[in-house]
Amino acid sequence: MTGAGLRVRDLDSFYGPAQILFEVGFDVAPGEVVALLGRNGAGKSTTLRSLMGLMARREGEISFRDTRIETLPTYEIARLGLGYVPEDRRIFTELTVEENLTVGQQRPREGVTTWTPERLYALFPNLAEMRRRPGGQMSGGEQQMLTIARTLMGNPSLILLDEPSEGLAPKIIEQMADAIVTMKREGLSIVISEQNLHFARLICDRAYILEKGRIRFQGSMAELEADEAVRNQYLAV
């Protein structure tokens, strides 16, 4: 399965001499929403960072839209249409909402939705009310929306969301889920790393479970739903 999707094989990743990921492999088909589940420290964030070329040392095979990206620098990976929303949001706190969006802006991409600030303000109405506000003066939920909007400005065909529901109020989480469903409807492929199974259940098609840097389970959301043993072994806290 290649084409417009993402294909990961035998991905090993290191932090200094410590190996974090072991032979991780998964696929994301065009338009698919895939959950990467696992407990704290299982390697979810490291997997996403590895895809973006943000780990100092990673080995294995990563193909995105028929291009091998495991040796490319981060900015070239982003320019191929792989969007990344980090776990800690990393809003440019000195920059206004508008300016944050400007940084994310890339050329329109063929066969992919083109986002404009106006479309994003429609998707996240809260942001529309604070275009001139510095990112540092926004609430956590607003920052989370801005970081997703900022990445969408690059018109990605696949977006990596690292724990988008973390630390947010239930009401904001619902808004977030709505926005992600809209993105899916626009044809985006999405990889979501999550600890919150309930949130993943709302929006994902398939799931992979990571434990201690290895893939331990893969299947549809329905299969995971039916398999209480797996959930207890790898997800229950």
Partner 1 sequence: MSLYVVQFLAGLANAASLFLAASGLSLIFGVTRIVNFAHGAFYMLGAYMAFTLTRTLDGAVGFWAAILIAAAVVAVMGALLEMVLLRRIYQAPELFQLLATFGVTLMVEDIVLLVWGPEDLVGPRAPGLEGAILVMGRPLPTYDILLIALGPIVLLGLWLLMHRTRWGVLVRAATQDRDMVAALGVNQKWLFTGVFTLGIFLAALGGALQIPRTAVSHHMDLSIIVEVFVITVIGGLGSITGAFLAAILVSLLNAFGILIFPSISLVLIFLCMAVVLVIRPWGFLGKPVVAGHKSAGVTVRPWQPWSREARIGAAIVVAIAALLPFWLGTYGLFVGAEMMIAVIFAVSLQFLMSTGGLDSFGHAAYFGLGAYGAAMAVKWLGAPMEAALLIAPLTGLVGALVFGWFCVRLSGVYFAMLTLAFAQILWSIAFQWVPVTGGDNGILGVWPSGWASSPATYYWLTLAVAVFSVAALRMLVFSPFGYALRGVRDSTLRASAIGFSRQRVQYAAFAVAGAFAGLAGALFAFLKGSIFPDALSIPQSVDGLVMVLLGGIATVSGSVVGAIVYTAASIWLMSQTDLSRLVLGGLIVVLVVAFPKGIVGSISDLVGGPLFRRRGAGPAGREAAVAGSEGA
* DSSP summary character for residue 43: S
Q: Which of 18, 229, 236, 237 binds partner 1 (CB under 8 A)?
A: 18
Does 15 bind partner 1 (CB under 8 A)? Our answer is yes
**Which of the ranges 30-38, 62-70, 93-101, 219-227 carries the binding residues for partner 1, by CB under 8 A?**
93-101
Helix (H, G, I), strand (E, B) or coil at 70: coil
Does 115 bind partner 1 (CB under 8 A)? Our answer is no
Residue 153 Cβ vs partner 1, minimum distance, rounded to whole Å: 8
Per rule CB under 8 A, count of chain residues that contact partner 1? 29
Does 84 bind partner 1 (CB under 8 A)? Our answer is yes
Looking at beta carbons, which pairs linking 177-186 to residues 24 or more positions away fall under 8 Å? 177/202, 177/203, 179/123, 179/124, 179/145, 179/148, 180/33, 182/123, 183/152, 183/159, 184/31, 184/33, 186/113
Residue 19 Cβ vs partner 1, minimum distance, rounded to whole Å: 11
Nearest CB to partner 1, comparing residues 160 and 221: 160
Instruction: Give me Rg for the CA atoms of the chain.
Output: 17
Those residues whose C-beta lies under 8 Å from the C-beta of residue 50, and which sit 6 or more positions away, are: 11, 13, 21, 58, 62
Phi-psi region of 60 (alpha: psi -120 to 50; beta: other; left: phi over 0): left
Does 233 bind partner 1 (CB under 8 A)? Our answer is no
Does 92 bind partner 1 (CB under 8 A)? Our answer is yes
Query: Where do contacts with partner 1 occur on this chain (CB under 8 A)?
Result: 15-18, 52, 54, 73-76, 78-79, 84, 86, 90, 92-95, 99-100, 102-106, 150-151, 154
